[in-house]
Structure 1
Amino acid sequence: MDLTIKKTEYKKKRKLTDTLFDIGVYGFAILLMLLIIYPLWFVIIASFSNPAEVANGNVWFWPSEWKLDGYIELFKQDIIWRSYFNTIIYTVVGTFVALAVNIPAGYALSRKDLVGRKWISLFYIIPMFVGGGLIPTYLIIKEFGLLDTFWVMVLPFAVSTFNIIIARTFFSTSLPEGLWEAAQIDGCNTFRYFFSFVIPLSKAILAVIGLWTAVGIWNSWFNALIYLTNEDLQPLQLVLRRILIANESLLGATSGSLATELRQLSDMMKYAAIVVSTLPIMCLYPFLQKYFNQGVMIGSIKE
């Protein structure tokens, strides 16, 4: 009888402990979510609000005096649309090229029968920690004739050692060796096995590396600043940066009420530029979330 009472009390205490733990975990998760979401929400509502109200701290959760001046002024720039198109093309082609070189490399390094596997892995890892520097990279790109061309935003930086390691870990831990042996018995060669079995079973890691690469290319502006001088080839991020810098320079040359108006318009354009540059890539994530979570977890459990 005493043993039964003790078991019942233990279950009650354990249930209470689990409940408190769940409350703590969910509370922390909600707090973390709010800390991440609110700055994004604030930027969105600030882009539609009166900049004077934003500067005075009167905008918190909803736009004040709905205004589209920032977006109107931003999209008056004809170069915005061309740079938007350039960024989309760079992102699509660059992501495809990155997957085409990193996924096969990761799979090859995951094969235990690869001759010189350790040395090849070392060859990939050393440049990850020791880079050649900006000037040597610029000279090499120039020698290859990629300077100020479309391909300079796609080819030179397609190989990523980090992505290759993630892909190698995924293939090592997720694809059973028996699958390759069974395919060999059926007369399947390496290339057919890779395209017929490995790729269809690797949607998770394809989504992970594809999303990481797409976000990186979409947000990239430094490479374009260094390697592109043709305005027709410049991506969105670099064009937005140039417009905002031009607005700041114009503010420094004016004074009085005109300067105040320009300052308010400049602030609205800043918020509008953030929304314009981040919204498309954020809309892509929900479609890849399932594969993204699965790929990250599998690729990070063990080597």
Structure 2
Amino acid sequence: MATRTVYESGLDRFNRPSKGVNILLHLLFFFLAVICVLPMLVVLSVSLSSEDSIRENGYHLIPTAFSGDAYGYIAKQGTMILQALGISVFVTIVGTVLGILLTTSMGYVLSRPNYKLKGFLTWVVFIPMVFNGGLVSSYYINANLLGLKDTVWSLILPLAVSSFNVIICKTFFKSTIPDGLIESAEIDGAGQLRIFFSIILPISLPVIATIGLFLCFGYWNDWFQSMLYINNQDLYSLQALLNNLMSNVDALARNASSLGISYAELVATMPKESARMAVAIVIVLPVAFAYPFFQRYFISGLTVGAVKG
């Protein structure tokens, strides 16, 4: 017993990094954190800067001349901003819930060793990770075959399921859910749907939170689907609105007639650069506040799903 204790203590000393290594690691991660946070601080600074100071001095970490004109201008565009925000929130919530249901159910089915089509469907899931069908074919299916163009479902369905998320769920269920648990439920007379919703999902919170976070970020940050399928400005999301701002500084001025302001006057008085950054801040803040609540499950789900293949 004493020999084992001495061996374990020696092993701990061997595996434990030295004080100097700990300091270097802390400095490295602090430096990486600063690199990640710095662009966000610059965006915030520009959104709080006056348009004249941006033209004269460029972008700065600390505003040379504070101004809230950008946020005031966005507040005046209340109808358009709120409508875009509502579309983004709806798409994110509905898409995340639908994506979790589809992804976890497919991953659970593929993780069961006695499922007859397991091999075939595994290839069906794996092949799209290597060979993409292409933009033209996906557009034809979504817009023409399914008739999703200019509907909110064109922003939801194309992103609901990905092969990567399915494989994460499959690995998690295969390495975490014991076969005996499912067999005992079947002996008690529970059907597969009852087993999945009453037993599997409640004990799979880490992978659900992980997939949910992936889906939430994907839906919230997506603008490409809007560019492909949406022509109706009433269905623009915040991300599509920001993309239009970056490519065309007149994007916020499209509702000038409804506001009773001339187009030229609106464009002339619009805080262009700061307004772009202010919209970016509005988009980033909800995700930044939500991430800490999911971080624990996110890390746990990734590590558990990466243990076994």
Normalising to structure 2: TM-score of the pair?
Answer: 0.83
What is the match of residue 115 of structure 2?
A: 114
| Match 1:160 to one of 140, 159, 162 | 162
Residue identity opposite 1:153 in structure 2? L
Cα deviation digits, residues 32-73 of structure 1 (max 9, x gap): 11111122122212211235555636843x444321111222
Aligned match of 1:134:
135
RMSD: 2.8
Matches within 5 A, 1:132-281: 132-141=133-142, 142-247=144-249, 265-281=271-287
Q: Distance in 2 between matches of 1:39 and 1:32?
A: 12
How many residues are paired up? 283
Contact 2:47 2:274 in 1 (8 A): yes
Distance 1:178 1:16, change over 3 A: closer
Letter in 1 for 2:28: F
Question: Does 170-179 or 50-59 show the bigger shift?
Answer: 50-59
CA distance in 1, matches of 2:297, 2:42: 29
Report the AA paired with residue 239 of structure 2: Q
Change (3 A) 1:210 1:293: same
- Tell me how far 1:217 sits from its aligned partner: 0.9
Q: 1:291 aligns with which of 290, 297, 303?
A: 297
Aligned-pair identity (%): 33
Structure 2: runs of 5 or more not aligned = 1-9, 253-263
Secondary structure of 1:113 counterpart: coil
- The structural deviation recorded for 1:169 is 0.7
Q: Give the direction of change, closer, same or farther, for the CA distance of 1:264–1:79 in structure 2 (3 Å limit).
A: closer
Structure 1 runs of 4+ off > 4 angstroms?
13-17, 51-55, 261-264
Question: Per the alignment, do residues 140 and 58 of structure 1 end up closer, same or farther by CA in structure 2, a change over 3 Å counting?
Answer: closer
Distance 1:115 1:48, change over 3 A: same
Per-residue CA distance 1:166-203 (angstroms, 9 max, x = gap): 11011111112222233233333322111111100111
TM-score, normalization: structure 1?
0.84
| Aligned mates of 1:146, 1:88 — CA distance in 2 | 19
Which amino acid in the other structure matches residue 209 of structure 1?
A: I
Change (3 A) 1:294 1:119: same
Aligned AA (2:195): Y
Task: Map 1:25-174; keep pairs closer than 5 Å.
Answer: 25-51=25-51, 53=53, 56=57, 59-60=60-61, 62-77=62-77, 78-141=79-142, 142-174=144-176
Q: Which moved more, 1:21-30 or 1:199-208?
A: 21-30
Change (3 A) 1:185 1:31: same
The answer on whether the counterparts of 2:245 and 2:276 sit within 8 Å (CA) in structure 1 is: no
What is the DSSP-based 3-state SS (H/G/I as helix, E as strand, rest coil) of the residue aligned with 2:71? helix
**Distance in structure 1 (CA, Å) of the matches to 2:22 and 2:249:** 50
CA contact (8 A) 1:84 1:235 kept: yes
- Letter of the 2:47 partner, please give it: S
